[in-house]
Amino acid sequence: MILEKANPTALPRLRILDRYLIRGFTRIFVISLLVIAVLYLIVDFFDRIDNLLQAGAPLWISMRYFLYKIPLLVSRVFGFAALFSALFSLGMLSRNQEITAIRSSGLSLRRISLPLLLFSLLICLFTFFWNEALVPIFTRKSQYIYQVEVRKKQPRSLLGTKDIWISGEGTFISADYFDAKKNIIQGLVIYLLDRDFSLKGLVEVPLARWDGTRWEAREGRQWHFLPDGKMTQRKVDLSLPLSETPEDFKLFAREPEEFSFLDLRKQIADLKGKGIDATEYEVDLQVKMAIPLVSPLMVFLAIPFALRHGPGGGFALSFGLTMLIGFGYWFVLAFSISLGHSGALPPWVAAWLPNLTLALVGLFFSTSEE
């Protein structure tokens, strides 16, 4: 910083410049965040409205459902808003020849973009705490409204623990884990009851799979308690005495967005302690750490794009690049996560590969800009 060493008055001027850049970026960021969130909400509304109408959901319940989804929708567009704000704010400065005037005073493009990069790190921290404090609570509530108030699926959980406990028809059902994607129950125990609720037997199954009409098990065991106190045992290799369907168990299946970071770590430790594969949750845990860093990476990538187009930068170009880069990132992230869930990629690679791609592309353009 030759300018700062040579002139004692340079530092106050730089602070004024930094505030000017951050103020312009923040104003556009807030507006674009609201606009993109509203657009996202409209798209989600039309995606869900058919299901809500078919279920006969009242208007107030539908409004509450979408209201509780807002924090999740906002969390998904922080990166879009940061990218557009950096492209548009710097593009307008370049278009008005303000970047040229600033550079004529001896400042490099890296120094001009520094306050935006630092401010994007604050957005990163805010995004992480937003995802931890608001998103799990509101998402859980929106799922409850959709499953219970809209679809009229009443949960029958007996205990609010990390395991699943359900009161069935003449049974108590306990399960360690339910895979909602594959319709698989692991660690299933069915307690068979008499009319007086005394225990007449139990079925213990390490894994049960839904075949479309019934639950099938392999290597399960059933114990039957006789009136004289004796007990008989037999293997269970076919269908189970279970009237509940996957839809009943899905009431207790939680999406990754319903977990906080610490809750997800506890869930992974619990599943591993029971010998259950927790690969999908490990990927989701890494994603929770990777997503907040999208905003700084988007700003880092936007800076050379915005400054390179000079006076030609404007709303249309900024919006077009935002859509191209933003949707490209989410496409790569979704593909990478699917590979991680299937075990084709290690969890940390699946979650961080899209971020690494953004960083490398941004580094390439930023080093070729000077």
Average pLDDT, the chain: 82
Q: Any idea what DSSP says for residue 145?
A: I
Spatial distance between the Cα atoms of 347 and 351, rounded to a whole number of angstroms: 6
List pLDDT tens digits, range 131-165.
999 999 999 898 888 888 887 776 555 444 456 77
Q: Taking residues 353-362, what's their average pLDDT?
A: 91
Calculate the dihedral angle through the C-alpha atoms of 134, 139, 142, 143, rounding to the nearest 10 degrees: -160
- Percent of the chain at pLDDT exceeding 90: 27
7, 18, 116 from 13: Cα distances, Å? 10, 9, 17
Q: Taking residues 82-98, what's their average pLDDT?
A: 85
List pLDDT tens digits, range 172-226.
788 888 888 888 888 888 888 877 777 788 888 888 888 888 888 877 888 887 7
Residues whose CB falls within 8 Å of the CB of residue 232, separated by 6 or more in sequence, listed in order: 223, 224, 226
- Flag whether pLDDT at 102 surpasses 90: no
Q: Taking residues 47-57, what's their average pLDDT?
A: 81
Tokens 């303000």, residue located: 98
Coil, helix or strand at residue 313? coil
185, 276, 337 from 273: Cα distances, Å? 16, 8, 24
